[in-house]
Amino acid sequence: MMKTTIRYILALALLALMGCTKDVEDPRYPHSSRVVLVYMAGDNSLGGYVRDNLDAMRQGMASAPAGNRTIAYVDTPDGNPRLLEVTSSGTQILYTWPSAHNSASAATVREVIDRMRTLAPADRYGLVLWSHGLAWMPSWATGYLTRSKARMAEPWPQTKHEEIFPASFASAARPDSAPVSVTATGSAPTDRPFQAFPVPTSWPATKWFGQDTGENPAGYLDVEQLSEAIPSGVFDWILFDACFMASAETLYALRDKAERIVCSPAEVIADGFPYAEIMAELLRPEPDLRAVCETYYRNYVDDPRPAYRSATVSLVETSQLEALAGAMASVFGAALATDPEVLSNMDLNWLQPLDRYRRHFLFDMGSVVGELETRGLVPASLAGAWRAQLARTVTYEAHTPTMLGLALDECCGLSMYVPYADYADLNEYYRSLGWYAGCYPADYNIAQ
């Protein structure tokens, strides 16, 4: 009996010892205060920019806080995806996938985040999403992506499920150097002629998010899939180095994925964020994201090349997005109660577009609210409450006067979609978004 008791006590002691050592740091994977994961989905037309951006990150690491780490997931057309650590002396491969895969898939995003957390444990994480981007737009909606004044003689596709994006979408290059009219859909009022701007032979290439051309057909990551892929409670901030991601619909879907999000309501030039200047700030325990936004803006507004003086950037507090949706619901509720067809029949020419496509689908939120107020459909009190909530939501906003030739007369920092009658295919998809459910009356009959 005595021996049995002794064995039992020893077993309990061993279990207790095992419990005490369970959380001991694995020496292979040193713990950091801050780790930044840069998810570079570059198996597309941006592949040529990956090396320069990694080199800029290397330069930025020279002044980064000691002990903190930058981990980059890299997928390019010229090799298998790999996970790298970026240091001031270069890059070190931490893991290479045995074969190519789709970097624009929720499963891959989840796998990369899990692997990064194992190899680089930290108190806090930040996430840079680097790729092409198209806000909340579904990947099948290729008929909306023809550049302004390009392919004008071609009819719009009649089917929404196309396999390949038009060639004009793959590059921002212009076919000539003639003045380009910035156009909008709908019948243009005679008292508001479209503005034209002389443009160079070609604009710099730009970004959007979530494309993998190594897939056949190409893979795309819609915003709802991205929301499912990013775990809640891991990242305290997200930075989108991608076009158009400062859309209300996109950010609302990601509102519980980070406390703050840096993003652009318009395009992002493919050179991207100036990592040599911002990496040290991003790696601080409490980074000054306003300073990061300001550095990005100044990088382009002060560029000696006129064609590169184009930038929009916003800093969004995600905890305020629910209240912003509520304020927008009050605005829409008032407008639709007076005129149930005000949105489906809206003249889009009176709104500020933030995309350069011939069929605009991203509009400045402030211009939408302002138009409804101007038409007497929304009282000043509701419009004012919305603007006050916007100021709590977008805590920093900066934009150049034009965006690659598109005049930015208004830019509040967020874009939104208007469910216009001629966009019936988009409206059908739009009904599935959380932002739609949060902003529109339950009995609203969206134009189909």
Quick: pLDDT tens for 122-141. 999 999 999 888 899 887 77
Distances (CA, A) of 274 to 175, 207, 282, 294: 29, 15, 12, 11
Nearest to 38 by CA among 131, 114, 136: 131
**Cα atoms in the Cβ-side hemisphere of radius 13 Å centred on 222:** 11
Q: What is the mean pLDDT of each run of 10 residues along the chain (448 residues)?
A: 50 46 58 96 81 96 95 91 96 94 89 97 97 84 60 30 28 26 27 32 43 55 89 98 96 98 95 97 97 98 94 98 98 97 94 92 97 98 98 98 95 97 89 95 84
Q: Rounded CA gap, 339 and 334, in Å?
A: 9
Predicted TM-score (pTM) of this structure: 0.82
Q: Rounded CA gap, 239 and 273, in Å?
A: 10
Q: Rounded CA gap, 87 and 85, in Å?
A: 6
Per residue in 331-388, pLDDT (tens digit) is 999 999 999 999 999 999 999 999 988 889 999 999 999 999 999 999 999 999 999 9
* Domains of the chain as residue ranges with CATH: 32-136+211-319 (3.40.50.11970)
Nearest to 70 by CA among 35, 40, 99: 35
